[in-house]
Chain A
């Protein structure tokens, strides 16, 4: 009966593990190098780090290799590893305004101080399969590096003032809603209404596809909700902690790559009768632009009252986590003999009742 009769479970698991390894390598000539995954599949690594909630490109690459490219599984490996790590320090608040920017655009203003900077993006490529990549060898890589990218100097520091700063100076923006306390979703169970800090954390490590779909539904189904991207910036930001021996000084731990989005939404009137704009905010590890935009849309949606699904905080916040959604949907693969037996029992009893009722009806 194979899987159904679950005897020999231990043996079955061992065989499955061996088969996994066999299918992973049976037709392979070389083992995938994790450094190559981290360097050449950088969007994949970024996404796994973002959904796993752990900034560690090498480990993300390892997770991708181990999961044979299954994104959800890779993010899950990262999350499970992360949950075992001691919390030694809290970082100081990072300032994306000081970001060493590699890409920065605004859809709201043509001229922004510092100018627009397209940077690395596939937005304006033609989506044609590039068959030349099939035979790309080491020499081709070197030539490309020499010829194609001469004017880009990655070492040049580039930081720009924030677009939102301009709007704020002109009195056009409401300050962000904040409860003033920092909630930690990894240390406390979420309660509703959720504090803003908790919402942002959940969205920051939410599943890209799920968030994009929900954000899309709010834009498509409810056209009044069509935000403008005030600024999208991608780049490296320093991560610092307070120096343990002197809290006036800070210690730089290194740089992390972030994508930050600020969307501008329809203007609102507050309790004091002031009319201003409110920003939506998105921030993700790595270059994860669509997810960051979706985050800003969802975050803003949750701050406004309304009846559409993406404005329902329990609906959004409890369902965008990749690890939780994947885990529960896939648990249907586990045996449910007991629950099903119990259901069958109720069904049979109900059938008996229905049968006897029918008989009585006939008599009448």
Chain B
């Protein structure tokens, strides 16, 4: 299969015209932080809804000098991440890594790596549902208008109703935020823990939604403000008193796991690349 791809398909799978179109869309997205720029998403050889938006961004950017890391849930070895990495490898000569600090492009699903993204790195998100207003408005035509008029009363009301009903805002991951005081955007289903990492960051964040055919971006040093009320401030996930079983860290996002034999609950870093580096540091005094 790998050899076959190399012979029959263009470098980085897509034809050059398509890659250029995606890069132009990306430039527009960077110029208008948080604004969802439509693009004609191509069919990719992986499932629609399985990261094709992120993959198209990655393929439009990647060259032989790049070093790629792909993670799913923070994990380099998750099957879908492996599959995406294999595809990119089969049609480019780019190097791959699990070390987020070595990578020039990191494609991710549901997490931002623990080590902050530098200005010479790009983090590419796979986005399932790019429209943050979809939870209050089903129609694309209307949500476009709501964004244009900055009419965000619907989503604010939704948050308020949450508080009335549940005593707190009930959104878990994919928590909506305001970019550069203008557009509300969906950060993709990253945990709330990761959302503040987008604020005034050094690196570039690109979001690709393949099935929904939209690209948007959070450029470096953009103000990102999670939606919240003064008396009900934004909260991240709680891991009080928990630490990683492998590297011992208590300041990272943790996966909750169960030991099959003992039935005991334990915790482990979700960012496996970072966890491994910490373990190595611990073992080499």
Whether A80 lies near B45 (C-beta < 8 A) is yes
Within 8 A of A (CB), among B166-218: 166-168, 170-174, 189-192, 211, 213-214
CA–CA, A235 and B91, complex, Å: 40
24 A-B residue pairs with CB within 8 Å = A7-B77, A9-B82, A80-B43, A83-B44, A86-B15, A187-B40, A188-B40, A192-B139, A328-B49, A334-B72, A335-B78, A338-B73, A338-B189, A338-B190, A338-B191, A339-B173, A339-B189, A341-B191, A341-B255, A341-B256, A343-B173, A346-B171, A349-B238, A357-B167
Give the residue of B39, B42, B82, B109 whose beta carbon is less than 8 angstroms from that of A83.
B42
CA–CA, A321 and B19, complex, Å: 23
The smallest C-beta distance from B175 to any residue of chain A, in angstroms, reads 9
In the assembled complex, B119 has its CB within 8 A of some CB on chain A = no
Whether A346 lies near B40 (C-beta < 8 A) is no
* Given A184-B40, A189-B41, A330-B47: 20 more A-B contacts, CB < 8 Å: A6-B73, A6-B79, A9-B79, A86-B15, A87-B17, A188-B40, A190-B213, A192-B141, A323-B43, A324-B48, A327-B50, A327-B52, A328-B48, A331-B49, A334-B80, A341-B237, A350-B167, A350-B168, A350-B170, A353-B166
Give the residue of B40, B50, B75, B166 whose beta carbon is less than 8 angstroms from that of A6.
B75
Q: Which B residues are CB-close (under 8 A) to A24?
A: none
The secondary-structure label for the interface of chain B is loop
Interface residues on A, range: 35 or more
Residues of chain A at the chain B interface (Cβ within 8 Å): 1, 5-10, 12-13, 76, 79-80, 82-87, 184-193, 314, 318, 323-324, 326-331, 334-339, 341-346, 349-350, 353-354, 357
The smallest C-beta distance from A332 to any residue of chain B, in angstroms, reads 9
In the assembled complex, B33 has its CB within 8 A of some CB on chain A = no
For A184, the closest partner residue in chain B by CB is B40
Give the residue of B44, B79, B237 whose beta carbon is less than 8 angstroms from that of A342.
B237
Which of B6-14, B151-159, B277-285 lines the interface with chain A? B6-14
In the assembled complex, B161 has its CB within 8 A of some CB on chain A = no
Q: Which A residues are CB-close (under 8 A) to B171?
A: 346
Interface residues on B, range: 35 or more
CA–CA, A9 and B80, complex, Å: 8
Whether A84 lies near B172 (C-beta < 8 A) is no
In the assembled complex, B140 has its CB within 8 A of some CB on chain A = yes
The smallest C-beta distance from A110 to any residue of chain B, in angstroms, reads 44
Encoded as 1 (CB less than 8 Å from any A CB) or 0, chain B from 205 to 243 comes to 000000101100000000000000000000101100000
Give the residue of A84, A186, A314, A354 whose beta carbon is less than 8 angstroms from that of B14.
A84
CA–CA, A12 and B74, complex, Å: 18
Q: Which B residues are CB-close (under 8 A) to A189?
A: 38-41, 213-214
Q: Which B residues are CB-close (under 8 A) to A5?
A: 257
**A323-B43, A331-B50 as given contacts; A192 in contact with B173, CB under 8 Å:** no
Whether A84 lies near B189 (C-beta < 8 A) is no
Whether B82 lies near A13 (C-beta < 8 A) is yes
For B21, the closest partner residue in chain A by CB is A187
Q: Which A residues are CB-close (under 8 A) to B10?
A: 84
Counting chain B CB atoms within 10 Å of each CB, the highest count among A9, A185, A326 belongs to: A9
CA–CA, A345 and B237, complex, Å: 6
Counting chain B CB atoms within 10 Å of each CB, the highest count among A187, A318, A329 belongs to: A187
In the assembled complex, B260 has its CB within 8 A of some CB on chain A = yes
The smallest C-beta distance from A352 to any residue of chain B, in angstroms, reads 9
Whether A80 lies near B237 (C-beta < 8 A) is no
Within 8 A of A (CB), among B120-167: 128, 138-141, 166-167
